Amino acid sequence: MMKRLKYELKYKLGKIRFIKALFSPFKPFSLKFYSGKIAIGVPYFYPRKWVKSKEKPGYQSAVSKKIGFNSCGLGWKTKWEETDYRFEWSPILSFVFFKWQIAIIVSAEYQDNYWTSWLYYEYNTDKTKSNKERIEQCIKCFPQKYTIYYPDGREEGVIDYYELILKRKYRKLL
């Protein structure tokens, strides 16, 4: 029983780990609100619950929620190696009441680069070092510089997303 409670607590706290980004060298994320007919997935499907299947004993089937809450944490994965992070979806909290939905969506400007950089900062930098040293490591080992091209193939310029996602005092490190 106690082991199960520890597991559930660890799982629930893991879903809100992204809040640590507010206290990091990255700009704070914002919240977007939606209210209206059910239209926002959590993360892929509309809010639903699992019930015992009537057709297949021992199985469960998904049913749309009539009333209730759904949430999901930051969605990400590693692709080819441990440090190759990929952003999948933003954290969301959703409340459904019959065919209506209220959703709170965590949003950051330049989301892909913001969250992948923050994940590298969180999981792959030495937490015994200062924030400045950790960001220097991010810039060196996990660069966010990309070359922008015109549709005809000419080079337009280079963009460094760290300039756009870091707080002002940490941008001096670039």
Quote the pTM value.
0.83
Instruction: Name residue 141's beta-bridge partners.
Output: none
Question: 83, 76, 98, 101: which is closest to 21 by C-alpha?
Answer: 76
pLDDT in tens, 104-123: 999 999 999 999 999 999 99
User: Which residues is 78 bridged to in the sheet?
Assistant: 85
Digit-coded pLDDT (tens) for 139-149: 999 999 988 88
For the stretch 55-91, what's the b/e string if a residue is b when 16 or more beta carbons lie within 10 angstroms of its beta carbon? eeeeeeeeeebeeeebbbbbeeeeeeeeeebebebbb
Q: How far apart are CA 36 and CA 127, in angstroms?
A: 42
The predicted structure's pLDDT at residue 3: 72
Highest mean pLDDT among 2-16, 68-82, 120-134, 139-153: 120-134
54 pLDDT higher than 90: no
Retrieve residue 138's tokens: 């991010």
Three-state secondary-structure class, residue 101: strand
CA 94 to chain centre: 15
Q: Quick one: average pLDDT of 44-68?
A: 88
pLDDT digits (tens, 9 = 90+) for 89-109: 999 999 999 999 999 999 999
- Selected residue with higher pLDDT from 6 and 35: 35
Which pLDDT belongs to residue 84? 86
Q: Provide the residue type at 111 as one letter.
A: Q
Cis-peptide into 43, omega within 30 deg:
yes
**Residues 6+ positions from 73 with CB-CB distance below 8 Å:** 14, 15, 16, 17, 18, 91
Q: Is the pLDDT of residue 46 over 70?
A: yes
The answer for residues whose C-beta is within 8 angstroms of residue 35's C-beta and 6 or more apart is: 100, 101, 102, 103
- As a whole-number percent, the residues of the chain with pLDDT over 90 amount to 51
Residue 11 has pLDDT above 70, yes or no: no
